Amino acid sequence: MIESDRELSNIVQQLWDNDQNRLTPGKDYRISLQGKAGDSMALNDDNDGAGYPLFSFVDENIFKKETFAAFISLLDNYVSDTGVPEIVTPEEEAENHKFLDSIIQTPTMQIAHKYLVQKKLSPKDQRDFKNQLYRIWFELYARRGSSKPDSSGFEHVFVGETRGGRTVIGFHNWIQLYLQEKLGHIDYKGYSVNANSPQPDENKHILALQFMWKDGIKPKGSIFIGVSPEFEFALYTLSFLSSAQERVKVQFSLYDVEIVCHHYAQKHIGTTYPMLIKYLTSPVSAQ
């Protein structure tokens, strides 16, 4: 177990500082927050606080980078409806391994791996570490109400799923959100705030929002925006392996955040995402 949230915050800050592929708000992408989404889960226009898409611009040259391209190749490998068994083809399995091979070489994943080895939470051998990542993220399991394996940590967190065709579960990734919005499959309904959360900022990297995907509603979701796939993979893997708690508080850059991480049978990630507590008045630096 981790010694303290401060220790984990220091590692997360190192991940942030070394996220070489992170996009810059206002330069590499622009979002349009518009209005606050309604509180109802009803599928009607009364809930709509946004008449335009969330993303007004993304420099898609970033998607040509190795980790982004490998990540995007995985997004069409899944059936969104829970209860429908997933079948992984040899080609899809090869794509999973190609993605892991690409991110393991990045500074963020190397920092995470070194820390986990020091804590005796991951094997030192890189091949064994990759196998551990595959088990955590890509091995299939049966979600609640399903009799056959129909889900994985990767599908739930990064791709998104639907339950009963009317409710969106998971779906905590900005790249998938952007690509699905570009295809016309996402209807952004506005940002989400409550009494304890700060007003969102178009130039910050964390956003709570509401949207429709296909015919289902995501009444409230929280995502990082503009970060690289390797940063999220490293952060969420650290949270999963370092703590049995479902919520871990960390501070990094300008953010005071809770990382929610639900374990499934202690072997897989059920879900994981960031919840912004507040913006910090000055940037945090790694100790």
Residues ≥6 apart with Cβ < 8 Å to 224 = 174, 205, 206, 231, 232, 274
Lowest-confidence range among 27-36, 71-80, 140-149?
A: 140-149
> Does some domain include residue 154?
yes
Residue 147, burial from CB neighbour count under 10 angstroms (0-12, 13-18, 19+) = exposed
> Does some domain include residue 285?
no
| CA angle (204, 196, 52) in 5-degree steps | 45
Q: How far apart are the C-alpha atoms of 262 and 259, rounded to whole Å?
A: 10
> Does some domain include residue 85?
yes
> Does some domain include residue 284?
no
pLDDT of 144: 73
> Does some domain include residue 222?
yes
- 8-state DSSP, 239: H
> Does some domain include residue 204?
yes
pLDDT greater than 70 at residue 186: yes
Residue environment code for 1-33, b if the CB has 16+ CB neighbours within 10 A, otherwise e: ebeebeebbbbbbbbbbbbebbbebeeebebeb
Q: How far apart are the C-alpha atoms of 268 and 161, rounded to whole Å?
A: 16
Which residues are known to be catalytic?
156, 172, 218
pTM: 0.94
Q: How many domains does the chain have?
A: 1
DSSP three-state, residue 87: coil
- Mean pLDDT: which of 90-104, 130-144, 237-251, 269-283 is highest? 90-104
Is 69 within 8 Å of 63 (Cβ atoms)? Answer: yes
> Does some domain include residue 122?
yes
Q: Which domain does 109 fall in, by range?
A: 5-279
> Does some domain include residue 287?
no
